[in-house]
């Protein structure tokens, strides 16, 4: 795929992406002496660097902030010899017959790799309001399971009407006093069973035809949300301390389109109980292949699986 004058480097294990999945894969691959190189992508540390406190990652009894946890994971990967490089995979050409895989980084450097572990993650979709960005991490969150606990016995709002929003609204309803659910149309996208659960939860108030137009705050934290009814154009302010956005995620898989099997929303498809993709020697772990759990610990778990599978793949190849 590449020009002749391009610099080529050969690796036994290339890891793309630096969230919990990528770093955990690196820890295992490095300890198995695969001498992994990890390319961080544009957001080194991944989605967790954009959150504040992480209280649900086992081992941190006192909790930890997302950025500190990612620095810890990076240091642990480096301790065993992982080389962490800032860079972005721009193009791939994978061998379908067990040969070497080619990955172009930053549009210039060419890597030849015997195994590739894809841990490019997913990106939460946001409404795009400046006030949403301002209070992100200070009352605004895209993960109820991660941050719901901080709003115990408080009033919160959630936007979205898919399965994620329905699931997160019912999760929040168990912790919070009241959950306003903002649905932009007059119906849900979520499955009937999930909608049924939402409508039968007494402390969830579903507001149809409702859109958040501004997150209100005191400069430090969220104090409310301004909501407009898109039929009547009437505006009202809800007093909430938490604002959850659950309008979907976009898996970071553009460069794999037409190369790796993916579902209709772009998530990579891995074989059952495995991180193997449809290409031998190419593995996928973390949120890029998981739209259901999306937790740091599940991402780390699949990162471990990917490294073990890469190691076994290389071993089988050298035995052949
Ligand atoms: P979806 O794309 O299914 O739903 C997104 C929701 O957000 C839609 O209701 C959409 O509204 C709404 N939305 C999008 N943009 C905006 C906006 N700017 N303002 C207001 N609302 C907006 O994403 P999900 O994350 O919910 O689900 C992704 C996939 O994962 C689905 O296939 C889902 O079934 C699956 N999933 C399954 C689960 C399970 O089985 N337990 C749990 C979670 C997810 P509209 O409907 O008007 O377009």
The pLDDT, as a whole number, for residue 42 is 87
49-58, 207-216, 263-272, 297-306 — which is least confidently predicted? 49-58
Closest CA to 137 of 41, 19, 287, 242: 242
Instruction: Map residue 123 onto helix, strand or coil.
Output: strand
Q: What is the mean pLDDT of residues 197-208?
A: 98
For the segment 96-141, what is each residue's pLDDT rounded down to a tens digit? Answer: 999 999 999 999 999 999 999 999 999 989 999 999 999 999 999 9
The pLDDT, as a whole number, for residue 182 is 98
Q: What is the mean pLDDT of residues 211-218?
A: 98
Q: Determine whether 146 is an active site residue.
A: yes
Q: What percent of the chain has pLDDT over 90?
A: 89
Parallel/antiparallel/unpaired status of strands 155-159 and 122-124: unpaired
For the segment 133-190, what is each residue's pLDDT rounded down to a tens digit? Answer: 999 999 999 989 889 999 999 999 999 999 989 999 999 999 999 999 999 999 999 9
The pLDDT, as a whole number, for residue 6 is 66
Check whether 210 has a pLDDT greater than 70.
yes
Tokens of 261: 């099997």
Tokens of 114: 């015997």
Q: What is the mean pLDDT of residues 73-101?
A: 97
Q: What percent of the chain has pLDDT over 70?
A: 98
The set of protein residues with a Cβ atom below 6 angstroms from ligand 1 is: 127, 159-165, 167, 184-185, 189, 247-248, 291-292
Tokens of 66: 């997302």
Check whether 226 has a pLDDT greater than 70.
yes
Q: Read off φ and ψ for residue 78, nearest 5 degrees.
A: -70, -30
For the segment 267-281, what is each residue's pLDDT rounded down to a tens digit? Answer: 999 999 999 999 999
d(CA 132, CA 242): 11
d(CA 181, CA 205): 6
The pLDDT, as a whole number, for residue 206 is 98
For the segment 6-59, what is each residue's pLDDT rounded down to a tens digit? Answer: 679 999 999 999 999 999 999 999 999 999 999 999 888 988 887 777 888 999
What predicted TM-score, i.e. pTM, was given to this entire model? 0.81
Name the region of 59 (left: φ>0; alpha: ψ -120 to 50; beta: rest). Answer: left
Selecting among 146, 163, 176, 287, the annotated active-site residue is: 146
d(CA 278, CA 84): 27
Closest CA to 282 of 32, 103, 23: 103
Instruction: Say how many Å lie between the CA of residue 232 and the centre of ligand 1.
Output: 25
How sure is the predictor about 5, in pLDDT bands with cuts at 50, 70 and 90? Answer: low
Q: Read off φ and ψ for residue 111, nearest 5 degrees.
A: -110, 135
The pLDDT, as a whole number, for residue 91 is 97
The pLDDT, as a whole number, for residue 254 is 96
Instruction: Say how many Å lie between the CA of residue 198 and the centre of ligand 1.
Output: 14
- Give the number of the atom of ligand 1 that is nearest the alpha carbon of residue 125: 15
The pLDDT, as a whole number, for residue 145 is 86
Q: Determine whether 304 is an active site residue.
A: no
Q: In sequence order, which ranges of the chain are alpha helices (DSSP H)?
A: 20-31, 66-79, 130-134, 144-147, 163-175, 192-199, 296-319
Q: What is the mean pLDDT of residues 282-305?
A: 96
d(CA 26, CA 22): 6
Q: What is the mean pLDDT of residues 236-258?
A: 97
Q: Which of 123, 132, 144, 163 to mutate to test the pocket of ligand 1 (most atoms within 8 A of CB)?
A: 163
């Amino acid at each position: 795929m590449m020009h002749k004058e391009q610099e080529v480097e050969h690796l036994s294990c290339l890891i793309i992406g630096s969230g919990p999945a990528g770093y955990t894969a690196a820890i295992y691959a490095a300890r198995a002496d695969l001498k992994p190189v990890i390319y961080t992508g544009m957001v080194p540390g991944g989605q967790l660097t954009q959150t504040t406190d992480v209280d649900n990652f086992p081992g941190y009894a006192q909790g930890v902030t997302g950025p500190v946890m990612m620095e810890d994971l990076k240091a642990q990967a480096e301790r065993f010899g992982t080389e962490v490089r800032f860079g972005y995979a721009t193009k791939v050409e994978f061998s379908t017959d067990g040969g070497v895989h080619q990955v172009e980084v930053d549009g210039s450097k060419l890597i030849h790799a015997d195994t590739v572990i894809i841990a490019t993650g997913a990106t939460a979709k946001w409404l795009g309001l400046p006030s949403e960005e301002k209070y992100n991490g200070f009352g605004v969150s895209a993960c109820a399971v991660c941050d719901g606990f901080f709003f115990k016995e408080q009033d919160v709002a959630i936007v979205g009407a898919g399965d994620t929003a329905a699931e997160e609204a019912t999760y929040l309803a168990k912790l919070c006093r009241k959950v306003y659910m903002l649905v932009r149309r007059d119906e849900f996208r979520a499955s009937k069973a999930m909608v049924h659960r939402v409508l039968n939860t007494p402390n969830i108030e579903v507001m149809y035809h409702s859109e958040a137009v501004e997150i209100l705050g005191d400069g430090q934290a969220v104090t409310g949300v301004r909501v407009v009814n898109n039929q009547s154009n009437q505006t009202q302010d809800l007093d909430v301390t938490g604002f959850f956005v659950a309008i979907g995620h976009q898996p970071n898989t553009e460069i794999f389109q037409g190369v790796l099997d993916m579902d209709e929303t772009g998530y990579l498809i891995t074989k059952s109980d495995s991180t193997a993709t449809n290409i031998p020697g190419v593995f996928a772990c973390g949120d890029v292949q998981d739209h259901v759990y999306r937790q740091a610990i599940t991402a780390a778990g699949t990162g471990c699986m990917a490294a073990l599978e890469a190691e076994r793949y290389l071993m089988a190849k050298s035995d052949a």
